[in-house]
Amino acid sequence: MTEVALLVAVLMIHELGHALGMLVFGYSDVRIFFIPLFGAAAAGRKRGVARWKEGVVLLMGPLPGLVAGTILLLLGASGVVRTVALQLVAINAFNLLPLAPLDGGQLFQLLVFSRHRHLEIAFQTVASLALAIGGLYLKLWVLGAVGVFMLLMIPIRKQTLAAGSALRTAGLPADPAALDDPQRRTLFTALWTYMPVQWRGKPRAQASHMEALLDIATRRPTGLVVTLGLFTGWLAGLALTVVAVFAFVRGEPPRWQRYEDAHHQFWAELPAAPTEGTIPTTGDKPKQQTLSARLGRSGEYGVNWLAVEAGTDWQARVRAAFAANGKQLREVPIDGGPPAQVVEIEGHEAWVMIRGEAGTGFIVIATGPDEICLRVLRSFVVR
């Protein structure tokens, strides 16, 4: 439930970026609404708005979230904050994909596809197929449904683009409110030539598609400077995504903290909050206590300790047992005590340290990066 609430908040931040851009650049009727199963959307009328402003509005949705999410990951965010950071990066990076109706798709339509309608149809066909097949293969049904829907809309889009291109010589104004009656008839006649039967008798649907047709008929490709500037913004979003992925793989930095066992027999420093457990044993064998946690880029580290009744020669016998099994690889000095032995356990290197002289002794086994294991073992103090 918490993750769903965070997801809604992240979607709202994304759409607020769009809405703020729309308000700044003079869009009318600006609003934000949620679409069940699909997310949220910001909408506004862009009549008379310059093309470069449309591009900036499109980028104001994903870029702020990518910046915030990447910074949080680089700072080593953990817990709920890390979840928010991952959602910010994932959602906004996805929106940069050059697929309609995503922000990236609309931006490419503005910068690239407006120059040649056949390029738009070819790209959208390939992208829709990839989305549909990928969604079905991965069992992401919503994503697959979006791809299928996009495929079904391609014939209508192709006809709209063709009709709009044919109207470019008619000298129509970009603002629908500026159309006179003959121009409205010209626009409606062009729409009527390919209008699906289900649109007839539905004035609102016809008006919406007439406006889209007018946009195609009056739009002009962006200039070179604007195109390069907006494309640079899109590339910056991709670069932020790459940085965020590396920050995620690197993971959380060590957050060293002192841990004291429940029986107050020892304490040690650990690089993350541990989870404590007990490994079941049989017969008279002592129970082996365990600590384990996930430590970002270092992967999983573990600390196990085996409490034993310490006799006068128990340490020598343990070392002899390791040597007899051919496990010992090398010894590393440990401050204030006997050296640790690096051994191979189930195909992985582990650090083993023996502490305690009388009463209860400990065999401590640490796994993970060498610098992590050394610090844990050096800090292990028997009380």
pLDDT at 185 over 80: yes
Winning range, highest mean pLDDT, from 59-63, 289-293, 299-303:
59-63
pLDDT in tens, 215-266: 888 888 888 898 999 999 999 999 999 999 988 877 777 778 888 877 777 7
pLDDT of residue 92: 95
What confidence score (pLDDT) does residue 232 get? 95
Do the Cβ atoms of 326 and 279 come closer than 8 Å? no
Distance CA 287, CA 284 (A): 9
The CATH 3.40.1000.10 portion of the chain extends over 257-382
Q: According to the model, what pLDDT value does residue 35 have?
A: 63
pLDDT for 276 equals 63
Q: Is the pLDDT of residue 352 over 50?
A: yes
The CATH number, out of the four listed (3.40.1000.10, 3.30.413.10, 3.60.20.30, 3.30.950.10), of the domain defined by the range 257-382: 3.40.1000.10
273's tokens: 């909050």
CA–CA distance, 57 with 230 (Å, rounded to integer)? 11
Is the peptide bond preceding residue 101 cis, with omega within 30 degrees of 0?
yes
297 confidence band (pLDDT: 50, 70, 90): very low
- Residue 291 has a pLDDT of 65
Kindly state the average pLDDT of the residues 183-187.
89
Quick check: 357 pLDDT over 70? no
Can you read off the two tokens belonging to residue 375? Answer: 């610090």
Q: What average pLDDT does range 190-194 have in this prediction?
A: 84
Which tens digit of pLDDT belongs to each residue from 75-112?
877 778 888 999 999 999 999 988 777 899 889 888 88
